[in-house]
Amino acid sequence: MVPPAGTSHHHDLLVAHLAAWSRHDIETIMSTMTQDCIFETSGGPDPWGRRYEGAAMVREAIEEIFEMLSDIRYTNARHTVCGDRGVSEWTMIATRPDGSRIEARGCDLFEFREGKIYRKDSYRKRRLAR
């Protein structure tokens, strides 16, 4: 049974979703999303980054991120919900395969449907070399 949709439920869903990212817990991440979910990454060839549609493609994309950024985690999170939309703000910390560090602020824009995340649209600051 799907929990009732509402601001409190959606807020708790965002908290659980981001915490699962920091734990690299793909099962929990996917359990927070609909089967026909959409994930739009912060980088990619298109104006929206790269779009993955459907649970199988989204899972594969997230697994690739975990492989590439094996220590990725999120801190300083704030979550806001208004109706069927939500925002998570965070600081991402990770190490690239070449050993260089990433520490950048970012946010995810969410759409909810049937008590789960239907769409996740990610944005991240790009730090310039000093």
Give the pLDDT score at 5.
55
What tokens were used for 96? 């690239």
What tokens were used for 103? 């520490």
Query: For the chain, which domains are there?
Result: 7-124 (3.10.450.50)
Give the pLDDT score at 24.
97
Cβ(120)–Cβ(38) below 8 Å = yes
The residue among 119, 121, 122 whose CA lies nearest residue 34 is 119
Give the pLDDT score at 2.
47
- pLDDT truncated to tens, each residue of the chain (130 aa)? 344 455 799 999 999 999 999 999 999 999 999 999 999 999 888 888 899 999 999 999 999 999 999 999 999 999 999 999 999 999 999 999 999 999 999 999 999 999 999 999 999 988 766 6
Whole-angstrom Cα distance, residue 23 to residue 71?
A: 9
The residue among 43, 10, 31 whose CA lies nearest residue 125 is 43
What tokens were used for 65? 């991120």
